[in-house]
Chains A and B, each alone.
Chain A
Amino acid sequence: MSQTSILVIAEHDNQTLKSSTLTTLTAAQHIAAGSEGRVHLLIVGHQCQNVVDAARTLGGITEILVCDAPHYASLLAEEVCAAVVPLVTDFTHVLLPATGYGKNIAPRLAAMLDVAQISDITEVCDANTFVRPIYAGNALETVRNNGGQLVITVRGSAFTPSQHAGNDVRVTPVQPTAALALSRHVSQSLTPFSRPELSTSKIVISGGRGLSAKENFQLIETIADKLGAAIGASRAAVDAGFVPNDYQVGQTGKIIAPDLYIAVGISGAIQHLAGMKESKLIVAINKDKEAPIFQIADYGIEGDLFQILPELEKALA
């Protein structure tokens, strides 16, 4: 096999390196493994020295490229892609995490390079063959690249995070491109999280329509805090306004694979199962014994969640 050279585009917020970058690096190392390939990390942003410092202790990276300019501060797809295009000539693969950030950028980049993009890979077969879920995770597609550069996004829950090796990777600044100024960032509102992040938490407890009111989500919160768990939700719970939409687990929300997933008052529609069926242990609490969630649950309690959740809280004390 010919030698591979892989560029991973880091996800960050100019302050913190996101854990999605670490799982993407692991996928990159799988691709490089069979071919003595090299892996470079690219950080496009503004005043992101903290991100660079966090990245330079990571193992398995040959070099870190940093492209820093004020017009990258908002991480707009138009500006980031313009910065990346001149840098990728020598790379066989460009990888991004399959998060909101990576999904926004990767296809635009691929089109600008006139190459194919493979979304959301869950397995690396070899440097040119990948597996990805389709039909909301109800089928797996194996795709082969017949030649040419590839842009790939990586599903975080399918790879373990790359570890910090304590080495000091060489950092090379690269020339920023001129600002395009097609789009302007106006504002941002983030949901404050005091709990573990949903996509990386080892334990997740999710609520659905069965909670029947926003106030009742407190029952879920109390247990989440006892377990050190992140909170998720079904689309029904989000649409009903019980929780913000970034809590949503499913085909159109976040796709997660925690060690333990507790589904409370969630029937288990195909859309929701697509987001959590790779969880190691699944527990369902539902008053309807026929609910589809029980078909994939390891343990189930048939009953009224308003009775069971307070009992669970007591049992955890």
Chain B
Amino acid sequence: MKILVGVKRVIDHNVKIRIKADGTGAELENVKMSMNPFDEIALEEAVRLKEAGVASEVVVVSVGDNSSQETLRNALARGADKALLVETEQGAAFGSLDIAKILQRLVAQLEPQLILLGKQAIDNDANQTGQMLAGLLACSQATFASALDVTDDGRITVTREIDGGLEVLSLALPAVVTADLRLNQPRYPSLPNIMKAKNKPLEIISLASMGFLPSKQLTTLNITEPKKRNSHCQWLENAAQLVAVLKEHKAI
């Protein structure tokens, strides 16, 4: 089984973002960038399926400018077999539907049985791409996956995190699965694997050569700081004081 994994380069999850003064987005200059944490988990799951002898090949893809090569090399060091960069112009912004359509074209070429993505990117927090890709491919989907098993009947069994608990689905292949935090604990790439990754294939496809035109349906008018909480923490000495204060606020 061939697995396609999508990864995105985003501002590192530990960075406190700064909004640009002109309201066009977050400041990216001299900011630490990393692989989206949910994509690390999707990739780890694919690599584990390969190590278990279930998957034959793990192809990792990113849509982004040239700097995404670094993210793809990192994915190769974590165990992906080859990488594809669909290269966009610097600063070009794409919506989830655009990304899903680009991935749809790659799926048509590569014919993977399983497509693994993170459940959401921690920058736009959209949580859309996997579901959109499944919709475009008219294939089965399992979002928010916390466990995945390939069964003998050529299907996969996926445990999903739902509001109030867990749900188990059996999916026909091909399928799109999006990873939740608890699917696995991603490994760190070792130095020898980082060295080896330099020699693994990384193919660059220019978006222009795909003849792809992004949707213009949505425009971001501005990005602003949320209003600050007007609170200076008032220190209390003990529980009795807390109860008195909460009663005063009619909070309890």
Interface residues of chain A, those whose CB is within 8 Å of chain B, are 76-78, 81, 99-101, 103-112, 114-120, 129, 133-148, 181-191, 193, 199, 203, 227, 235, 238-239, 244-246, 251-252, 254, 259-260, 270-271, 277, 280-284, 294-303, 308-309, 311-312, 314-316
CA distance A244 to B166 in the complex (A): 10
Whether A296 contacts B231 by the Cβ 8 Å rule is yes
Contacts of B11 in A (CB 8 A): 135
Say yes or no: is B184 at the interface (Cβ < 8 Å to chain A).
no
- A-facing residues in B122-163 (Cβ within 8 Å): 122-136, 139-144, 146, 157, 161-163
Nearest to A301 among chain B residues (CB) is B236
Interface residues of chain B, those whose CB is within 8 Å of chain A, are 11, 13-14, 16-17, 19, 26, 95-97, 100, 119-120, 122-136, 139-144, 146, 157, 161-172, 180-182, 215-226, 229, 231, 233-240, 242-243, 245-246, 249, 251-252
Most buried by B among A111, A120, A140, A312: A111
CA distance A64 to B157 in the complex (A): 35
Whether B221 contacts A143 by the Cβ 8 Å rule is yes
A217 CB to closest chain B CB, in angstroms?
18
Q: Which of A184, A246, A297 contacts B233 (CB 8 A)?
A: A297
Contacts of B172 in A (CB 8 A): 181-183
A115 CB to closest chain B CB, in angstroms?
7
A310 CB to closest chain B CB, in angstroms?
8
Whether A135 contacts B135 by the Cβ 8 Å rule is no
Whether A244 contacts B165 by the Cβ 8 Å rule is yes
Whether B169 contacts A300 by the Cβ 8 Å rule is no
Whether A103 contacts B125 by the Cβ 8 Å rule is no
CA distance A110 to B131 in the complex (A): 9
CA distance A141 to B226 in the complex (A): 10
Whether B234 contacts A298 by the Cβ 8 Å rule is yes
A24 CB to closest chain B CB, in angstroms?
14
Whether A188 contacts B166 by the Cβ 8 Å rule is yes
Can you name 10 extra interface pairs (CB under 8 A) apart from A185-B168, A186-B169, A294-B233?
A100-B163, A104-B141, A111-B134, A119-B127, A134-B124, A134-B125, A139-B226, A246-B162, A271-B13, A315-B240
Whether B218 contacts A111 by the Cβ 8 Å rule is no
Q: Which of A104, A141, A299, A311 contacts B240 (CB 8 A)?
A: A311
Whether A135 contacts B134 by the Cβ 8 Å rule is no
Contacts of A252 in B (CB 8 A): 119-120, 180-181
Nearest to B139 among chain A residues (CB) is A182
CA distance A271 to B14 in the complex (A): 9
Contacts of B124 in A (CB 8 A): 134, 141
CA distance A303 to B236 in the complex (A): 10
Whether A133 contacts B125 by the Cβ 8 Å rule is yes
Contacts of A312 in B (CB 8 A): 239, 242-243
Contacts of B100 in A (CB 8 A): 111
